[in-house]
Every structure is written in C-alpha cells, then in structure tokens.
Copies of this chain bind each other. A is one copy, B any other.
Amino acid sequence: MTSKDGYSWTEAQGLKAGVPSIGVIQPPTNLEGKDSTYDVIVVGAGYTGLATVRDATLAGLKVLLIEARDRIGGRSWSSNIDGYPYEMGGTWVYWNQPNVWREIARYDMQDDLESSYDFSQGINKFLLSNAKGVQKFTHEEEDTLMASALTKLINVDGNLAKDTVRFPHSATIEPSARKYDYMSVADRLREIGDDLSPNERACAEAWVLLASGATLETSSFYELLHWWALCDYSYEGCINSLIHYKFRRGQSSFAIRFFQEALSTGNLTYTFNSPVATIKESQNGVQVITRDGRHFSARKMVSSIPLNVLGDVKFDPPLSAGKTKAASIGHVNQTVKVHAEVAEKDLRSMTCVSYPHNSLIYGIADGTTPAGNTHVVAFGGSHSHFHPEDNVKYAIDAFKGFSPMTVQRLVFHNWSRDEFAKGAWFFSGPGLLADHLQDMRASTQHIVFACSDWAKGWRSFIDGAIEEGTRAAAQVVKALATDKSAAKSKL
C-alpha cells in the first residue's frame, strides 16, 4: 500500500510523492453498516491515539478513530521500499523507555530489534567536518569527545545534572530547575564560554541541534537537561536511548499491532483521510465535524492533535487561554531527516558531524539495503533549513558534505510542510514548559488532550506517546464507568 505521505527520489524515477508503507490502512474506513453510537472519539492515529484506542476497545468501549492521513503512526512510520524499512520519523527505542518497552514485551517483539550501528567495516570512522575540512577519529575517540563536550554543557550542578533533574518522569519541573527552562542552549554556551575546545563545541552544538531540530537560541536548555536525565545522565545512555535500537521491519510493524488488536475486539470503527475541522463540546458530550462535513458524536473525546496544529482545529467553546497560548507559541523542532542509499559499501561503519556550514548536520550509516548498498540517515533543521523536494541536488550535496558518496536514492518526509504536524518531534523553546506544561496537559469536561508533546517522561518520543495514550484511555474508561454507576444509582 502506498501512502500519500513522504517522498522518494532515484535518478531513474526522479522525485515521487508518496511511499509504500505497511501502516497504510485499507479499506480506509469501516464506517459503513456500523452503529453510529460511540463512547469515545479518538482524533489522531499516532501512537497516542493507537494506545488509547487499543486500551479503550479492550475495555469494551465503542470507539471511533478519526485520522487525517491515510495511515497510522503519526510522526513515526516506516516506508518499506523493496522490503527495506526507511524510518520517516520516530525510529529508535530502548528498554529504559518504559511505556514503549512494556508494549514490545507484550507483543513479544523484543527479539525484533537490531542495532543501527555496525562498527566492523570499511571506513570505520567518525568524520568531523567544518568549512575548512574533515578530521577523522575512531569511534572510541568520538565517544570521548562527545561525552566530554556534552558533560561540560549539561553539568550545571557538578553532579551531571543529577541534582537538578532528579525525577525525569515527574510532571513537575523542580523549582530549582525552572530557571533553566527560561535559558536557551545558546545562553548556556555563553555561560561556559571557553570551557569547550573547538571540536567539543562543534560536537556539543551539533548534538543539540540533532535533538532539537531548531537553533541554539530557540532550544530550551531545560529540555536538553531533561533528555539527558531520561538517558541516565550520560552520553552512552543518550546513544543507547536515542539512536541505537530500531525495529528490523520498521516502526509500522509495531504500530500495526495496536491497530490490529483494537480491531480484533470488534469495538473499533475508524475513518482515515478525514481531517477534523471543528470540535464542539457540550454538557452531554462532544461532536466532531470533519472538513468534508461529516458529524460524529460521543460521550467523550481524546484529542491527540499535536501542539503545532492544535490551533488549526476550531474548538467550540474555545480552548483555555493557557492552551491557546501554548499552541500559538508551538514547539520549535523543524528537523530535516533524509535517508540516502549510497553505492559505497565501505561507508557502513561511518558516523559524521558536518557543522556549522552544512545543511545536514549529523549523519550515521543506518543499515545495508537489499541491494547491498549503504543506508545513511542524516539530520538537519532550522539551523540551515531546506526542503529536500524543492532541490534534490542540494540534498545530495548536503550528504556529500559528510564524505564523498554516490547517492542512488533519497527517502524522506518533509515534516515542516506536513499540515498535520508542522514540525517534527516536540522540542520546546525557552519558557514554554515552565509556563505552559500544565496547560497543555489539562483536560476539559469531556475531552482529554493526550500527546507525546506534553508527556511526563519521554516527552517527544514514542514512549511519551504511549504514556499519554495509556493515560487517556484509563481516564476515559474511569469517567464512563463513573457516569454509568451514577446513572444506575439514579434509577
């Protein structure tokens, strides 16, 4: 099945919109012939929506899932080209991510993971480039350099931030840490000044931009500390948690399990290709109106609409002032993630930083394609933003900014122009979390707002999405059970 989302390019085929994915749902709806009474409407079929729908249908609720796209997964999905998965968004998982790992264990998929890295072949180097040229390091030297750079950047308390973000899974930002949310990473870099060697500075800045997809000035320093704490306060933990283990058959092979399980209950109705225009809440429940004018009603609703597009849906009555403000500020991540299939087999063990002159900043060899070529994944963002589909040659040149290579294929999803995401994973600018995290998390009488963008723990991650979906389902199941017993006691 081919999604409308994503792009691929080869010399022979040129640029093509839409890539195949096992996450595309066909037929796109099972509305026909269904009873149209729902307990819950869930808007959005990313991991938050999928976890909500799975838990709620298992609990016996009649659920309607409404999704704007033709596929599940939201900002995490894999294209499957010649059977090989290219991850268009969220990719890596690790066993210190509790919500995602609980599901991996539950679906017995713990042996379906593989390492992105293979440090055994060819040019087994870390390439650190700037405008003047390239330096080559062993991966051990890379680890030492990165660890030193990041440690200096985050070590605000002389204890690797362990005394500053003590409980990274709490929804509360500790009072002593709030000031860091009003600082940008650029502020912090000015604070530590010359502590960083030029190479350390390049590595630290490239790493921050890899995390935030933004600029040093627009990235909250607290959110970086929060990532660091989640990753067990070490560079090695960051590597393990953020960019190491992925699904052998792609993210969509995982997401589809939630969908299929929900479907198997007989309690799931769904409609894809159905962007939502208006959400009306009244004393009795919620009405959802799609752009094509269909009306759906339910007692409760779960919105998993991401922060950056929440303002595009009309809420009646309007969202709270705090939520409206947060949505208007938005998050700052405009990551450009591009995959390249390259002819050079001996690049399989390469990692690279090319900064600050290059539009792709961070790259790693991510696998070997069915044709035996090397698969390189690379990241850029607001620092030097570009739209790969507008200028394929520019994108290819950005890959060459890492190392000479013969690019035979590009695969990517332009998250910045995606009207249902308007950005990649959540990363906050200064002040947003300190001022509005609780606003973003707040529910109304009948609507739970659940999204990885405001998760307690692994905010921005698949784990945070499942955390939020789990919370939403539990909240709705409880509320409806309470309604039911209240109704009974009135009889």
Measured CB to CB, the residues of A under 8 A from B are 58-60, 95-102, 104-106, 108, 110-111, 113, 167-172, 232, 237, 264-265, 456-457, 467, 470-471, 474, 477-478, 481
Cβ-defined contact, B169 with A96, below 8 A: no
Cβ-defined contact, B113 with A167, below 8 A: yes
Cβ-defined contact, A110 with B237, below 8 A: no
Count of chain copies: 2
Which 7 pairs between the two chains have the least Cβ-Cβ distance?
A: A98-B101, A98-B98, A96-B96, A102-B102, A60-B60, A98-B102, A58-B59
Query: Could you tell me the distance in whole angstroms from the C-beta of A120 to the nearest C-beta in chain B?
Result: 12
Rounded to whole angstroms, the CA-CA distance of A169 and B105 in the bound complex is 8
Cβ-defined contact, B95 with A457, below 8 A: yes
Contacts of A59 in B (CB 8 A): 58-60
Contacts of A100 in B (CB 8 A): 98
Contacts of A108 in B (CB 8 A): 471
Rounded to whole angstroms, the CA-CA distance of A477 and B110 in the bound complex is 21
Of the residues B96, B169, B264, contact of A110 by C-beta under 8 Å: B169
Rounded to whole angstroms, the CA-CA distance of A170 and B237 in the bound complex is 19
Rounded to whole angstroms, the CA-CA distance of A97 and B170 in the bound complex is 16
Rounded to whole angstroms, the CA-CA distance of A264 and B58 in the bound complex is 16
Cβ-defined contact, B58 with A105, below 8 A: no
Cβ-defined contact, B105 with A471, below 8 A: yes
Cβ-defined contact, A111 with B481, below 8 A: no
Rounded to whole angstroms, the CA-CA distance of A277 and B171 in the bound complex is 47
Cβ-defined contact, B106 with A169, below 8 A: no
A-B contact pairs, 19 of them (CB 8 A): A58-B58, A58-B59, A59-B59, A97-B98, A98-B105, A99-B101, A99-B105, A102-B102, A105-B467, A105-B470, A105-B471, A106-B470, A106-B471, A110-B169, A110-B170, A111-B170, A111-B172, A113-B167, A232-B237
